[in-house]
Structure 1
Amino acid sequence: MKVKQVDEGKISKYILKFTFEDWENIIDSDVIIVGAGPSGMTAAYYLAKAGLKTVLFERRLSFGGGIGGGAMLFHKIIIESPADEILKELGIRLVKAEEDVYAVDTAEFMAKLASSAIDAGAKFIHGITVDDVIFREEPLKVAGVAVEWTATQMSSLHVDPIFISAKAVVDATGHDAEVISVASRKLPELEISIPGEKSAYSEVAEQQVVDGTGKVAPGLYAAGMAVCEIKGLPRMGPIFGAMVLSGKKVADEIINDIRKS
């Protein structure tokens, strides 16, 4: 087998060419999702499947959020009904633990959820941190985000961001609700309260997270563990049904809101 020879200059040229084609395309998006955890990737799948231009920014160079760590690095997590129906739709294998409760392999869960979202048309960009939100007045709403390379922020360099506009921004950053925290601090007129996450109480937290998922302010939505932070809900540990259902719920709400606008 003979490997085709490619000049180093061409390698760089092609990388830059196709990278900037992608960036030009996502500058004006329908939906920006921040965080490639279970809720963010589930939302990306359903939003892209509905035909919305969806970009997902992840500050790390990987995807999965809290999935990969499983429970204290054990490689299984738990999914309960009705979230199992979404995993079945994505071809993720489930092992029955008891009625309506299933064990899932973390690597398979991460890989197939990401693959499904990408195949549906969502664009994933790694190594990006959302530094700020864009807002518009009259009426006041969130209209996009300001982004930086994560490596730039880790180096403590002062570099201005670039801006990505969108009709909806989803905070799926997890426990710290990073995007909503920025919006609440910089735009107090949005009247966003962040009481903080409570200690574990899985039996009630799963339902409460799903119930609390959705619009936080015009143009700004919460999904997954970010909901616990902004609603003062208990954490739930290595059971992920609410994360998946939260992602679908926020996607459904955004699809409805954009179609009505």
Structure 2
Amino acid sequence: MEYLVSKGIVDSYFEKFKKILNVDVAIVGGGPSGLLASYYLAKNGVNVVLFERKLAPGGGMWGGAMMFNDIIVQHEALPIVNELGINHKPYAEGLYVIDSLQATSSLIYHASKAGATLMNCISVEDVVIQDEKVNGVVINWAPVHRERMHVDPIIVTAKVVLDATGHDCEVARILERKNGIKLNTPTGSVIGERSMSVYEAEKTTIENTKEIYPGLFVSGMAANGVSGSFRMGPIFGGMLLSGQKVANTILNAVNQTV
């Protein structure tokens, strides 16, 4: 029995691992925008993998606000909330409270159930560049990255890469730093996140969700960080709408490259 348990896990995992070595879309970061993008893409038949460095995907949504496990969404995001079956209750005009744990687990469940491959405990440490276009990511185990061990990585090729790494916009920063290129931002570089302004940040999260370099898209807080906009705190409607928008945009891009 011990042998069968181990063999079953190893066989299954490496079949899954081989499947994600060449994909349509590689998403870096398992926060709400990345998870929702993976859900919509997989639902539309796209071969998508999501890499999350931590043990559990979900980003900051798990923690609610200062570990109060409730969050706010606005009415514009209610169709997404309803589609995912997340309970909500009205709080003020146009604002609703949802349970952060239910919301996060629902995002993970729906993304996986739709066919997205979710790979936790894996870090993305670089991108693949071919013909002045991002064509994949370079991955390693998260503990290797954390401990700074000199262990060579594995390459995953992809038609499109999505930076959904949140406040740090890690993929965009790596691309800019290592290649001396200009991004599709007001300054041509990663500007960095500004201080909190909830109303402005909710708008710009969606506006800044776009392709910033051939083959590289940004969503969620990475979109605001790259373009120098504001943070928004524990309101998540903009994050969900950003994930939905980037999925639709990427879907068009992937279909054009088929």
TM range (shorter): over 0.9
| From 16, 39, 44, the counterpart of 2:10 | 16
| From 34, 50, 59, the counterpart of 2:53 | 59
1:170 and 2:162 matched: yes
| From 72, 76, 80, the counterpart of 1:82 | 76
Letter in 1 for 2:8: Y
1:194 and 2:194 matched: no
**In 1, distance between residues paired with 2:156 and 2:243?**
21
Matches for 1:31-110 after TM superposition, within 5 Å: 31-110=25-104
Structure 2: gaps spanning 5 or more residues: none
1:27 and 2:35 matched: no
Determine helix, strand or coil for the equivalent of 2:194. Answer: coil
Q: Which residue does the alignment assign to 1:209?
A: 205
Letter in 2 for 1:12: S
1:157 and 2:153 matched: no
Matches for 1:115-126 after TM superposition, within 5 Å: 115-126=109-120
**In 2, distance between residues paired with 1:166 and 1:132?**
13
Letter in 2 for 1:243: M
CA contact (8 A) 2:182 2:189 kept: no
Letter in 2 for 1:146: V
Q: Which residue does the alignment assign to 2:137?
A: 145
| From 242, 245, 248, the counterpart of 1:249 | 245
Instruction: Map Cα deviations across residues 95-140 of structure 1 (whole Å, 9 max, x no partner).
Output: 1112321001011001111101111110101000000000101xx1
**In 1, distance between residues paired with 2:64 and 2:96?**
14
After TM superposition, the score normalised by the length of structure 2 is 0.96
Determine helix, strand or coil for the equivalent of 2:30. Answer: coil
Instruction: Map Cα deviations across residues 113-171 of structure 1 (whole Å, 9 max, x no partner).
Output: 1101111110101000000000101xx10000000100112222100100001111001
Letter in 1 for 2:54: R
Question: Would you identify which runs of 4 or more consecutive aligned residues in structure 1 move more than 3 Å?
Answer: none
**Structure showing greater Rg:** 1
**In 2, distance between residues paired with 1:45 and 1:33?**
11
Structure 1: gaps spanning 5 or more residues: 1-6
After TM superposition, the score normalised by the length of structure 1 is 0.95
Give the superposed CA RMSD.
0.9
Percent sequence identity over aligned pairs: 43
Determine helix, strand or coil for the equivalent of 2:118. Answer: strand
